[in-house]
Amino acid sequence: MPIEGKHALITGSSRGIGRGIALKLAENRVKIAVHYYQNERAANDTLAQIRQRGSDGFIVQADVSRSEQIANMFQRVRAEFNRLDIFVSNARPEAAAFFQPPMDITLEQWDTACDSQAKAFLVGARETATLMGNGGRIFAITYAQGSRTGGLQPWVGMGSAKAAVESLVRYFAVALAKRGITVNAISPGWTEDSVLNTLPQQAQDLIRNWHQRGWTPMGRLGTPEDVGNVVALLCTAEAAWITGQVIYADGGASLMNPEVPPEIQLG
């Protein structure tokens, strides 16, 4: 069923995965509120690409780690759209703001991770519910592997925050179920044009080569468009019975056994 004519707010949609989601929804004639924090030029570029795809929208600035700015963002959405059908909580701070191991992370860095994720989703989902009619869609972009493992030590702040988001998804799914609003988390694997591209080049090359060699069974990293396809699919009426789930969109990487080399697993 088409989703044409819907209205969406996607945080962090000036670039990366958020942009990929925005552009895929725009192809389906969804109007988009493009959120950004610092890079207004990138947000305007996303909006221009949305218009090239035959849709429209506007840009809105906010620091999602501050609840009052989230409230202001939703006031702007109300003024522009007067409703909201799709909300995607995707924004995150730059890695330098939180990327420290558990013995070194400062409380400020911890708060940055938790406020930008768990608190932002809590406030955003509640604000969304006041604008959303029956049958709406709420999504949180997570990284489930990072919230369930402990090997990537500097991810402790973001991993813990994402684990809290995944828990909130389940609670909101129950709270909003009688209104037909679904609430799901989407967990991409390593994705091009995302946090991967902020890592040192050597680390990027190691990750790409490892996944292309077989750690992702499909033999490549994901793209923002891949994640956008999943969001668009779950926005259809046919997906109305799926709620409270963590949907892995990772080309099968999460199916691999970390104790066995991929060359053996893939036969």
What are the residue boundaries of the structural domains of the chain, listed by start? 7-197+223-252
pLDDT above 80 (res 262): no
Q: What is the pLDDT of residue 206?
A: 85
Q: Comparing 143 with 16, which gets the higher pLDDT?
A: 16
CB 242 within 8 Å of CB 201: no
What is the enclosing helix (H) or strand (E) of 122?
helix 120-131
CB 70 within 8 Å of CB 123: yes
CB 217 within 8 Å of CB 180: no
What is the enclosing helix (H) or strand (E) of 161?
helix 156-175
Tell me what the mean pLDDT of segment 147-169 comes to. Answer: 92
Q: Which two tokens stand for residue 101?
A: 């191991």
Tell me what the mean pLDDT of segment 241-254 comes to. Answer: 95
Q: What is the per-residue pLDDT across 36-78, written as a single tens digit (0 to 9) for each?
A: 999 999 999 999 999 999 999 999 999 999 999 999 999 999 9
- At a CB cut-off of 8 Å and minimum separation 6, what does 62 contact? 11, 35, 37, 69, 70, 72, 73
> Hey, what's the torsion of the CAs at 128, 131, 134, 140, to 10 degrees?
-20
DSSP classification of residue 13 = T
* Model confidence, pTM: 0.94
- Tell me how far apart the alpha carbons of residues 262 and 104 are, in angstroms, rounded to a whole number: 33
Q: Which of 94, 159, 170 is nearest to 125 (CA)?
A: 170
The β-bridge partners of 9 are 33, 87
- Tell me how far apart the alpha carbons of residues 121 and 90 are, in angstroms, rounded to a whole number: 9
Homologous superfamily in CATH for domain 7-197+223-252: NAD(P)-binding Rossmann-like Domain (3.40.50.720)
3-state secondary structure of 135: coil
Q: What is the pLDDT of residue 152?
A: 82
pLDDT above 70 (res 1): no
DSSP classification of residue 211 = I
Please state which of the ranges 35-44, 91-100, 180-189 shows the lowest mean pLDDT.
91-100
Length of the chain: 267
Q: Which two tokens stand for residue 70?
A: 């989230």
3-state secondary structure of 106: coil
Q: What is the pLDDT of residue 263?
A: 77
Instruction: Kindly list the strands in the beta sheet with 246-249, ordered across the sheet, starting from the edge strand earlier in the chain.
Output: 57-61, 31-36, 7-10, 86-89, 137-141, 182-188, 246-249
- Tell me how far apart the alpha carbons of residues 86 and 90 are, in angstroms, rounded to a whole number: 13
- Tell me how far apart the alpha carbons of residues 152 and 207 are, in angstroms, rounded to a whole number: 13
